[in-house]
A = this chain, B = another copy of it.
Amino acid sequence: MDVQAYLAERGSWVERQLDASVPAASEPPQALHAAMRHLLFPGGKRLRPVLALAAGEAVGAPSERVLAFAGAVELVHTYSLIHDDLPCMDDDAERRGRPSVHVAFGQATAVLAGDALLAAAFETLASDAAGLPADAVLAALRELAAAAGSRNLVGGQVDDLAFEPAGADAPYIESIHARKTGALITAAVVGGGRLGGADAGTLAGFRRFGEALGVAFQIRDDLLDAAEQGRCSLLRAVDPVRAEARADELLEHALRTLEALDERAEPLRELARYAVRRDR
């Protein structure tokens, strides 16, 4: 299969969902709604939401069952990028070749746009999931909220900001990757599976898949950053050759967790290979 075409097609479905989840930039307060949309469109690879759709597909569910959740995952991801870029955090003036949100709209609006995207994630999931079993929606929502919380995404960012390479070991770096990046990827896959009707055994496999893939994805991201931009990353504390090997090992581990699934899981497998082996 052509994973890039799969990502592009599903990505366009996610974009329609996102467009419906966030008020138009013409709706007051216009600066706020424009700021919420600034990083959301055109957006990035849409890997996380498409992983959620692929997890649903892997257990035979139509994409419509998972689309509201997939959009919510992307809203959480986008909020986290806006706040990470703030001057008091990573202080990045650019993101994906454009001014970051605080540069384009000011710090107050950037903080508030991130806040509103986080709230919109839960609003859209609780609203658009009408017609699905309420208990499955609540379970997926719980996964997403836990991934966004202090034990995961936010805690990982706190430890990333405070990171000191001296004395840091690989397991500690992986624990930051697992929380800052892995948790949301895991929630995407587990939540997509939950809404798709996956049984408990499959969900447990999806969780191990997401955990391994999430860390491998972030290792690849750090290696690309270091190679392309000479940017600092957690990996400055470890040998890049060993990091490459570790990413491959985690990818193999992730793929093994899907062994019991049939060819409907092929997109999920291909997305994993793409995420860890991509060159940008």
Contacts and interface: CB of A to CB of B under 8 A. Distances in A.
Interface of A: 22-23, 28-29, 31-33, 36, 79, 83, 86, 88-89, 106-109, 111-116, 118-120, 122-123, 126-127, 129, 133-135, 137-139, 141-142, 145-146, 148-151, 153-155, 157-159, 161-162
Nearest to A175: B28
Nearest to A127: B142
Nearest to A106: B88
A145 B158 contact: no
B123 A111 contact: no
Copies per complex of this chain: 2
Contact of A116 (B88, B138, B149): B149
Nearest to A121: B145
Contacts of A127: 142
Contact of A83 (B111, B129, B142): B111
Nearest to A107: B88
A158 B137 CA distance: 31
Contacts of A122: 122, 141, 145
Nearest to A120: B149
Contact of A29 (B22, B79, B155): B155
Contact of A32 (B119, B120, B154): B154
A116 B115 CA distance: 11
Contact of A123 (B23, B88, B129, B145): B145
A118 to B, nearest CB: 6
A79 B6 CA distance: 39
B142 A138 contact: no
A154 B108 contact: no
Given A118-B118, A134-B134, A137-B138, A146 B159 contact: no
A160 to B, nearest CB: 10
B150 A120 contact: yes
Contacts of A112: 83, 154, 157-158
Nearest to A150: B116
Nearest to A130: B138
Nearest to A118: B118
B118 A159 contact: no
